[in-house]
């Protein structure tokens, strides 16, 4: 009887040591986004602006990112895309998709799980040529993202240098309400 009690206590101590840390609560971040666009040879092409809403759902192992991009064409409506990152159990890779399957890809996450400090991804879009190779880093004011659009052979097609600046939910809601019909 003593040996069984000792075995149970040892098993309990081992379980406590190997138990995964509790997941953080869900959170939402809001950003004003500006991307400078360059041609393959580095010449400036233009600037894209928009809004980003990033929702972290640790219990579901998901990041849901809604992007509202302003189309620079006159009288064009903004484009809205919602990406879903499904994070693996280790918290360092993710599969990326979109509800209509227009976008898919893979991502690598660096830093503490659900508090990542940088990430990278390779994304393809159904109606857009090439692969989008992204690297992102959290900054004191938001996120800095460098993207290269490359063809199947790796030849650069275009470059995007994006800065996502954190904004308050109220600012996001106000801007979103003015942008979307």
Q: For residues 121 and 110, is the Cβ–Cβ distance under 8 A?
A: no
Classified as helix, coil or strand, 155 is coil
Centre a 10 Å sphere on the Cβ of residue 149 and count the other Cβ atoms it contains: 21
Q: pLDDT of 34-67, one tens digit each?
A: 999 999 999 999 999 999 999 999 999 999 999 9
> What are the Cα distances from residue 78, in Å, to 20, 68, 176?
42, 6, 10
Mind spelling out the 3-state secondary structure of 52-116?
EEEEEEHHHCEEEEEEEECCCCCCCCCEEEEEEEEECCCCCEEEEEECCCCEEEEEEEECCCCCC
pTM confidence score = 0.85
Tell me how far CA of residue 15 lies from CA of 7, 18, 38, 82, 114, in angstroms: 12, 5, 53, 39, 23
Q: Does the pLDDT at position 4 exceed 60?
A: no
Is domain 29-179 classified as CATH 3.40.50.1260?
no
Calpha distance 87→94 (Å, rounded): 4
Please write the tens of the pLDDT for every residue from 8-29.
555 555 555 556 678 899 999 9
Task: Please give the pLDDT value at position 1.
Answer: 45
Between CA 82 and CA 38 the distance in angstroms is 24
Tens-digit pLDDT profile for residues 94-143: 999 998 889 999 999 999 999 999 999 999 999 899 999 999 999 999 99
Instruction: Pull the structure tokens for residue 17.
Output: 């040591």
């Amino acid at each position: 009887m003593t040996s069984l009690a000792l075995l149970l206590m040892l098993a309990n101590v081992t379980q406590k040591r190997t138990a995964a840390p509790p997941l953080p609560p869900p959170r939402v971040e809001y950003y004003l986004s500006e991307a400078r666009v360059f041609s393959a040879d580095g010449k400036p092409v233009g600037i894209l602006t928009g809004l980003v809403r990033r929702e972290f759902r640790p219990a579901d192992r998901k990041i849901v990112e809604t992007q509202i991009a302003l189309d620079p064409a006159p009288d064009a409506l903004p484009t809205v895309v919602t990406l879903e990152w499904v994070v693996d159990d280790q918290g360092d890779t993710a599969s990326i998709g979109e509800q209509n399957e227009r976008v898919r890809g893979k991502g690598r996450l660096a830093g503490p799980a659900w508090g990542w400090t940088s990430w990278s991804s390779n994304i393809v879009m159904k109606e857009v040529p090439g692969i989008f190779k992204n690297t992102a880093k959290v900054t004191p004011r938001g996120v800095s993202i460098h993207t290269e659009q490359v063809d199947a052979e790796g030849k650069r097609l275009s470059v995007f240098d994006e800065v996502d600046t954190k904004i308050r939910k109220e600012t996001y809601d106000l801007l979103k309400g003015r942008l979307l019909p």
